[in-house]
A and B are shown apart, each in its own frame.
Chain A
Amino acid sequence: MNKRLDKVRWWEYLGFGGVFMAVLCLCVCVGSVNIPLSETVTVISNALLRQPQPEGLAPAIILTVRLPRVLCVALTGAALSLAGAAMQGLLKNPLADGSTLGVSSGAALGAVIAIAFGLNFSAVPFAGTMIMAILFALGSLLIILGLAYKLDYSLATNTIILIGVIYSMFVSSAMSVIVTFAADKVQQITFWTMGSLQGSSYENAAVLAAVLLVCGGVLLASAQELNAFAVGEDNARHIGVNVRRTKLVVLITVSVLIGVCVSIGGTIAFVGLVTPHMVRMIVGPNHRRLLPSSLFGGAVFLLLADLVARILLNPQELPIGVVTSLVGAVVFVFIFYNTRKGQ
């Protein structure tokens, strides 16, 4: 039997890859101190080849400040966008993203508790904020799925969305209560809940890359099932999709992605919601193309947002979540308006 893989549009990925690399270079070069592209390339290649670095501040700025940050931003954007695209397919709801489930808020609560009460795990290499955020993300998922399962054995998407929204509200109230007990850390908490990847390290980037590799693989392998869900949950069951198993796999994978992203960069809104929309306009709704393209789309979107956050009020820096929300809201209204007009 002559078998072949579903058509892959290589030119799309070449285009996305090209744009991604261009934006990545731009974000490493541009900042409070602009560094020419040629010098940036020299510094990075010297670092990779373990050659001596040129004189001046450029190597320190690029290698210890910008590169780890830009890598974290790109990976976080890719992860959030992928999670959003998967959730929008699974729940057949274009307004869904990682935060719809409530896991994002849960992770934020964990991190806020860690900051407010100064929790630190000295035995582990990463800060208490990260561990608490991941633990709370998984705990939130268990609570949400447990409640949804109790109410509705089939885990209907409407039940999941409703419980996610209610859970998010509950968690934001809990965060407000905690903030009142930790008045001295309000500024730190506020900045963090708005999202920021300032001070990201190579270790953060390595964690993000590892998680994205595993979770991304799982989600990409579920592309066909997500297509079926995007057409309709009952239809998915009728064509042979194991509906409950697919839901559990996708929800757990998305929760891990969100938990890790929130633990490193805080709650960054709108990336998971807007980017899949934009990418869907280019490559269509088929998840075999949409999911990999969303990785590039999310990375580019968040890199540009981070660049704006860094240079707009230079030397002051805006929280990245503020930029994504501002830009995302406008872009979303624009897309929504055009889509409706088109129909």
Chain B
Amino acid sequence: MADMLDVQKLSVRLGNLDIVKDLSFTVAEGDWLMIVGPNGAGKSTALSAITQGVDYTGRVLFEGEDVAKMKPVRRAQCMGVLTQSHFVGYAFTVEEVVRLGRYAYAPGLLSNRSDDDDEAVEEALALTGMAAQRKQSVLTLSGGELQRTFLAQVFAQQPRLLLLDEPTNHLDLVYQKQVFSLIERWLQKPGRAVVSVVHDLSLVKAFGTAAVLLRHGQTVATGAIDEVLTAKNLNPVYNMDVAAWMRQMLSQWAADDNTADNIIEEKIC
């Protein structure tokens, strides 16, 4: 399958420090690529460079087109970004924030609203379960609801590639599962792909199709999930036996495993 995103020798330097060095990977349609690594590995900076948020050297190509040379509206039609936290300044309604996702389709002077825009907004609100709260001020939403609002904005933007920077970092388990399930469902349509920075290696294993492992800005491994998340790769990067730690954590739930699952399912329903 043709590459949707092609990152070639991407490097970000701040002062004398190499934050990301010679990062290269490709993402094909249907892929969910996870960028993993410990704190300070350069994961978020790499994502920020792809979205043109920081200066970089190297090339970022979207279906062969240099992203750096794209006009902002064209870039927004190709790539949508969801960050981990949002601080909205004023009491915009949920619908107003979601509708901003349509900016790329009607920017500038006296921009009009089309039926396509209305449809995209309605679909995004329905998909994220925020339709009932459309008139509510975003200042009164919980963290999870706010994240779902911005996810709806990204869905309304109708990008082909979704870039997520730790999208569930400060969300509880219920919202974590909701958000990841929503993105997984979004990815099922053809012509789409996801790149995300995720800390939780269990989520990486559960949802990812490929991974890039970073340490101090350098690429340690890249490829399919099972090829990257091996003890040989992970243990030196995290300075610990990662699999043993994960197993130890999970073993605590063995006794009442079913109860925990039931609680989560109940809350989501």
Contact = CB atoms under 8 A, between A and B. Distances in A.
**Do chains A and B interact in one complex?**
yes
Interface of A: 1-6, 92-94, 153, 221, 224, 227-228, 230-232, 234-235, 237-243, 280, 284-286, 343
Contacts of B92: 227, 230-231, 284-286
A301 B81 CA distance: 41
B2 interface: no
A229 to B, nearest CB: 9
B114 A280 contact: no
20 contacts: A1-B115, A2-B114, A3-B113, A5-B110, A6-B112, A92-B89, A153-B55, A221-B108, A224-B103, A228-B103, A230-B90, A234-B83, A237-B51, A238-B51, A238-B76, A239-B100, A240-B74, A285-B89, A285-B90, A343-B139
Contacts of A231: 86, 88-89, 92, 97, 100
Nearest to B115: A2
Interface residues of B, number: 42
Interface string B70-82: 0111111100110
Contacts, number: 94
Interface in B81-126: 81, 83, 86-93, 96-97, 100-101, 103-104, 107-116
Contacts of B71: 242
A241 B53 contact: no
Contacts of A3: 112-114
Contact of A4 (B88, B89, B112, B157): B112
Given A232-B87, A238-B51, A240-B107, A6 B113 contact: yes
Nearest to B51: A238
Q: Tell me the dominant secondary structure on chain A's binding face.
A: loop
A3 B113 CA distance: 6
Nearest to B83: A234
Contacts of A284: 91-93
B233 to A, nearest CB: 31
Given A221-B109, A224-B103, A224-B107, A239 B89 contact: no
Smallest CB-CB A-B distances: 4 pairs: A240-B76, A285-B90, A240-B104, A92-B89
Instruction: Determine which residue in A228, A230, A231, A232 has the highest number of CB atoms from chain B within 10 A of its CB, and name it.
Output: A231
B39 interface: no
Nearest to B81: A238
B76 A239 contact: yes
Interface in B36-64: 51-53, 55
Contacts of A227: 92, 96, 100
Contacts of B153: 235, 239
Interface string B148-179: 00100100010000000000000000000000
B90 A280 contact: yes
A259 B269 CA distance: 58
B73 A94 contact: no
A93 B88 CA distance: 10
Instruction: Determine which residue in B52, B92, B116 has the highest number of CB atoms from chain A within 10 A of its CB, and name it.
Output: B92
B72 A241 contact: yes
A153 B53 CA distance: 11
B93 to A, nearest CB: 8
A150 to B, nearest CB: 15
A231 B91 CA distance: 9
B108 A239 contact: no
Contacts of B80: 238
Nearest to A221: B109
A94 to B, nearest CB: 7
B53 A237 contact: yes
